[in-house]
Amino acid sequence: MAKKKRSIRLFEPALVGTAVKQSFVKLSPRLMVKNPVMFTVEIGTAVMLAVTLYQLFTGDNSQGALWYNITIFIILLLTVLFANFAEALAEARGKAQAESLRKTRQDTPAKKVFTVGDMYVNEVKVVPSSQLSKGDFFICEAGDVIPMDGEIVEGIATIDESAITGESAPVIRESGGDKSSVTGGTKVLSDKIKVKVTTEPGESFLDKMIALVEGASRQKTPNEIALTILLAAFTLIFIIVCVTLKPFADYANTPITIAAFISLFVCLIPTTIGGLLSAIGIAGMDRALRANVIAKSGKAVETAGDIDVLLLDKTGTITIGNRKATSFWPADKVDMTDFISHCVFASLADVTPEGKSIVELAGEKNIHVKQLPADTRMIEFSAETRSSGVDLPDGMKIRKGAFDAIKKIALNNGKPFPDETESRIKQIASNGGTPLVVSVNNVIQGVIELQDIIKPGIKERFDRLRKMGVKTVMVTGDNPLTAKYIAEKAGVDDFIAEAKPEDKMNYIRKEQQSGKLVAMMGDGTNDAPALAQADVGVAMNSGTQAAKEAGNMVDLDNDPTKLIEIVEIGKQLLITRGTLTTFSIANDVAKYFAIVPALFIASIPALQALNIMGLKSPESAILSAIIFNAIIIPMLIPLALKGVKYRPIGASALLRRNLLIYGFGGVIVPFIGIKLIDMALGLFM
């Protein structure tokens, strides 16, 4: 199963081109005002432009040399452009990601079914997919590309969903039940289905996601709003610092140029995080999309990082879809080889995964039976008999089935049920296995042990979740004994056994009442209420429309372990914002040491002692500081787009680590950077 990697290079040339163009478009004050930090930089840039123009026309040199003012103006402009570029690049990447999904469903021909009155007639016309609207019906046959998202109302088909999921194996979709949903852009490989359109054109989940990335309908998430407030407060503080510096300087008889004021201000305000903030948010959505998850809002991704409880279905998530035979336990005085041969006979015609696994296990024990004799009568499994088997031409009747069903057969025919088999059955059940009893001509021969196979690596993932502080809960239809055994073996924290759909709902409610955030994944219509109730509800793309509407994310891969990835994406989003904020503010310490002595050194020579970096001249100190301030933005773009890695090492340890790297590092790095720039400038000045 080859998986198409949907990765885009960080600085894909085509995207960079768009982003560069966009960064100029974004200079429009109407767009800039949404980002208060960068907006103030833009105002500063405009003031510098005015100063420079004034100087050009009047030749008044009281504000410093012309080249100096022009340089400051250019660097400030670059600062704004760099910030815009970061945002534009993130947008372009997100859009490219979404476009590659959407491309497949541009304008595909649709075989629309027309209705006359309330009656469906068989009139089918080919129309462009854009003319389909919600509630319409269309037909798809083998080879057709499905034009719109919808729900199968008639028929069954195999569908190639690789365009959406990257998964090459075809999947089966059929009307009724939980696998009735089809996605536009996927291809029908066999059979014919009738589909009801469930979304208006332009309102599919993918369209919503693209809109979220594009910014038009991107709403700031609660944490982003709070952070913007904090950054605005810091900006205000630095406005106060700079405005009051003027009378302070007057008192100290120090003239300060406009360029110096604006430079100080721009250096101090948190431009690094201010410039990267929206890029970080978009990149988070983009990362979700790259994991093949469509989030309906940015908030959903962010909430995922806060999840306390994770509800997971046992089958398919924790265990490999089906039980497998693991041991043969013949009754006393029954030969092992005979027993296994009988088991194989009973299972050869059985196409269920359990049946196949019995044949496989027998093969491992070197017992190969290729074919059943002719004239063998198959006894299919039924809910009444709860057993299946074969009647061989020589009159041998082999049955395998549930313990009580086979026991009934034996007892009804006056045959005893061996004690050792009964105790073996109890042992198997207590080990979380399922016993399958085999009889030949109504005589009990022994028992086959079927076990749930826990997915490799799943225990480690649960350990990781536990370290993140997420509690995992397994939901299963098994009896409590089996459930407990598997729960312990897989390392989940809790389980719901013999679960009915409403049990999930009740569990979620209970956890939420104690203040916890709950995530779950589901596909069926009966999951829909629970998906809606959960704080993060991830619907599988293969699931019903109701489930997809109810959840706030859709997983295109139908991968139940995806929740773990989603939680990490959410955390990464917050961490990236937090660390870059810390870095940005910590940077200011060094910038003060560069600029404050530079401003006052002419009138207060003693302040040379504060010039601990030994910068050459006041001009070069100020230039170095704002150049550093500008170039740090593009240098951090990769980090902002990729996100700071989340490590499940416990909150305090993680804080220590990030504080050391981004806090302490944020203090040190600019000292080095500014000094280096000053040395480089020294070659020219």
Indicate the DSSP class of residue 308.
Answer: -
- Angstrom CA distances, 134 to 138, 195, 542, 620, stand at 11, 11, 19, 65
Using the rule CB under 8 A, is 285 a contact of other proteins?
no
Q: Which of residues 296-335 bind other proteins (CB under 8 A)?
A: 302, 305-306, 308
Residue 103 or 656 having the CB closest to other proteins: 656
Going residue by residue from 42 to 81, which x/- string records binding to other proteins, judged by CB under 8 A?
----------------------------------------
At its nearest, how many Å lie between other proteins and the CB of residue 215? 21
Residue 264 or 490 having the CB closest to other proteins: 264
The 3-class SS string of 600-625 reads: HCCCCHHHHHHCCCCCCCHHHHHHHH
| Given the residues 313, 478, 527, 588, the one annotated as active site | 313
SS3 state of residue 383: coil
Task: Say if residues 499 and 475 touch (Cβ distance below 8 Å).
Answer: yes
Task: Give the contacts of 50 (CB within 8 A, at least 6 positions apart).
Answer: none
At its nearest, how many Å lie between other proteins and the CB of residue 652? 5
Identify whether 313 is a catalytic site residue. Answer: yes
Using the rule CB under 8 A, is 663 a contact of other proteins?
yes
At its nearest, how many Å lie between other proteins and the CB of residue 582? 6
Question: Which helix (H) or strand (E) covers residue 451, if one does?
Answer: strand 443-454
Question: Which helix (H) or strand (E) covers residue 156, if one does?
Answer: strand 150-160
Q: What are phi and psi of 306, to 5 degrees?
A: -100, 0
From 405, 592, 616, 634, residue interacting with other proteins (rule: CB under 8 A): 592
SS3 state of residue 351: coil
From 604, 631, 668, 679, residue interacting with other proteins (rule: CB under 8 A): 604
Using the rule CB under 8 A, is 685 a contact of other proteins?
no
Joined tokens for residue 553: 């994310």
Interior angle at CA 228, CA 226 and CA 229, nearest 5: 65
At its nearest, how many Å lie between other proteins and the CB of residue 264? 8
Cite the DSSP H helix spans in 59-109: 66-102
From 29, 103, 248, 685, residue interacting with other proteins (rule: CB under 8 A): 248
At its nearest, how many Å lie between other proteins and the CB of residue 281? 13
From 53, 225, 481, 602, residue interacting with other proteins (rule: CB under 8 A): 225
Using the rule CB under 8 A, is 570 a contact of other proteins?
yes
* C-alpha to C-alpha distance for 429 and 449, rounded to whole angstroms: 9
Q: Which of residues 437-496 bind other proteins (CB under 8 A)?
A: 466-471
The 3-class SS string of 124-142 reads: EEEEEHHHCCCCCEEEECC
At its nearest, how many Å lie between other proteins and the CB of residue 43? 20
* C-alpha to C-alpha distance for 641 and 639, rounded to whole angstroms: 5
Q: Which of residues 609-628 bind other proteins (CB under 8 A)?
A: 609-610
From 244, 327, 352, 382, residue interacting with other proteins (rule: CB under 8 A): 244
Using the rule CB under 8 A, is 659 a contact of other proteins?
yes
Q: Which of residues 162-181 bind other proteins (CB under 8 A)?
A: none
From 295, 367, 534, 586, residue interacting with other proteins (rule: CB under 8 A): 586
Using the rule CB under 8 A, is 127 a contact of other proteins?
no
At its nearest, how many Å lie between other proteins and the CB of residue 615? 16
User: Helices 271-290 and 66-102, interaxial angle, to 10°?
Assistant: 10
Using the rule CB under 8 A, is 575 a contact of other proteins?
yes
Q: Which residues are catalytic?
A: 313
